[in-house]
Amino acid sequence: MKAKTKFIQGGRKAKNEARTINLPVIRASTVVFKNLAELEEIQKRFDAGEAVPTYGIANMPLRVAFEEMMAELEGGYRAVAAPSGLAAVALALMATVKAGDHVLMLDSAYGPARRFCDRTLKRFGVETTYYDPLIGEGIAALMKPNTTVVYLESPGSHTFEVQDFPAIARVARERGAAVIHDNTWATGRFFPSFEHGADLVIQAATKYPAGHSDVLIGAVVANEKWCPRLRQTAYDMGQHVSPDDLFLTLRGMRTMDVRLKQHEASGLEVARHLEKHKRVKRVLHPALPSDAGHALWKRDFRGAAGLFAIELDASPKEMAAFVDGLELFALGYSWGGYESLVVPAHMMRSVKPWKGGPLVRLQIGLEDTADLIADLEQSLGRLR
């Protein structure tokens, strides 16, 4: 071989098989095969019912491992990786609707999910109706002949309403609609969506699976019925996830169970303390007996996240002083990492607008709760 051929052909074949605890990061756009028979055999695993070339977009060890882990976590048939939680929301909806269809979306859904319905789905001829998250089996009155999706997020974003999931799912399935659930708050560890009637489950794996605030990643897990359509839609949309992000998320998932239990314990300890404070009108945390959704939470859930909200007895100016006065709580969106966060709740509601006082969302991280409580106390003291 000539020199420039050697530079292209050399160093591409491993002389030994690395046996490492974690799968190595492999960056590739091209996957090669030993022979045509191997190509055709592997093709069958990734073609979702049609001939889809097994580029690095699908046939990569880390992606396969991540999707298997997410399916295991949520208890579904198979999963598809997405580059963010919002991408997973869009993917699940695009896989289940077509022009002329109708979607029922809970009023307390993640804001960007609402915007996707109001802007993108509307542009493609899909109608969205928002419903009271506490509607239960009453959702039957909102079903139309062309309703193809009922979308749930329990607890709801910012206000943490717990939905009567089995009742809503039962009505949806009787009418032939797909049940989509954003299960980011509880994950399959604390809420088995498929056991309660879900068809597709969304995870913003940025949050608890990754767990370290350094990754954007999502996943949709489907049952066997919806898996082919989901995978076809993902391939058609060219969904891809960086191998580095997949590696970090898989690493995070190894400790997720331990972290979730600590987030739960710390979150409840802080929430119980805040319940007693004079300037806290209400703590919105479904695992508290005082919460309106506690009975449903206790019936259906196996645990609680470290994310909840507080309604302050304060003016907007005082609320700002409280948020700005916190020292251990970083001001920022997202959550699920090891660090504590605070952010004012800016809600998008059309069925039941928020009529309470200023609402602040807290993510309780893995710091010592005594320090977090002391920080909250000193900042709440600014409201006197």
Domains of the chain in start order, with CATH, are: 36-253 (3.40.640.10), 256-383 (3.90.1150.10)
Instruction: Indicate whether 63 pLDDT > 70.
Output: yes
Lowest-confidence segment of 149-163, 233-247, 285-299 by average pLDDT: 233-247
Q: Enter the DSSP assignment of 190.
A: H
Q: Evaluate whether 363 touches 185 at the Cβ level (below 8 Å).
A: no
Q: Using omega within 30 degrees of 0 as the cis cutoff, is the peptide bond preceding 155 cis?
A: yes
Nearest to 190 by CA among 286, 284, 326: 286
Instruction: Indicate whether 384 pLDDT > 80.
Output: no
Which residues sit opposite 362 in a β-bridge? 308, 342
Instruction: Indicate whether 83 pLDDT > 50.
Output: yes
Instruction: Indicate whether 8 pLDDT > 90.
Output: no
Average pLDDT over residues 310-321: 95
In the three-class reduction of DSSP (H, G, I as helix; E, B as strand; rest coil), residue 280 is classed as: strand
Average pLDDT over residues 3-14: 71
The predicted pLDDT at position 15 comes to 65
pLDDT band at 51 (very low <50, low <70, confident <90, very high): very low
The predicted pLDDT at position 59 comes to 62
- What's the half-sphere exposure (Cβ side, CA atoms, 13 Å) at 59? 20
Average pLDDT over residues 237-265: 95
Query: Environment class of residue 157 by beta-carbon count within 10 Å: exposed (0-12), middle (13-18) or buried (19+)?
Result: buried
Q: Where are the beta strands (DSSP E) in 100-168?
A: 102-106, 127-131, 147-153
Q: Enter the DSSP assignment of 155.
A: S
Residue 129 C-alpha from the chain's centroid: 22
Average pLDDT over residues 286-299: 98
pLDDT, tens digit, for every residue of 328-343? 999 999 999 999 999 9
Which residues sit opposite 178 in a β-bridge? 149
Average pLDDT over residues 226-234: 94
Residue that wins the pLDDT comparison between 38 and 173:
173
Q: Evaluate whether 90 touches 115 at the Cβ level (below 8 Å).
A: no
Q: Strand 330-331 to strand 341-344: parallel, antiparallel, or no bridges (unpaired)?
A: parallel
Q: Is 155 left (phi over 0), alpha (psi -120 to 50) or beta?
A: beta
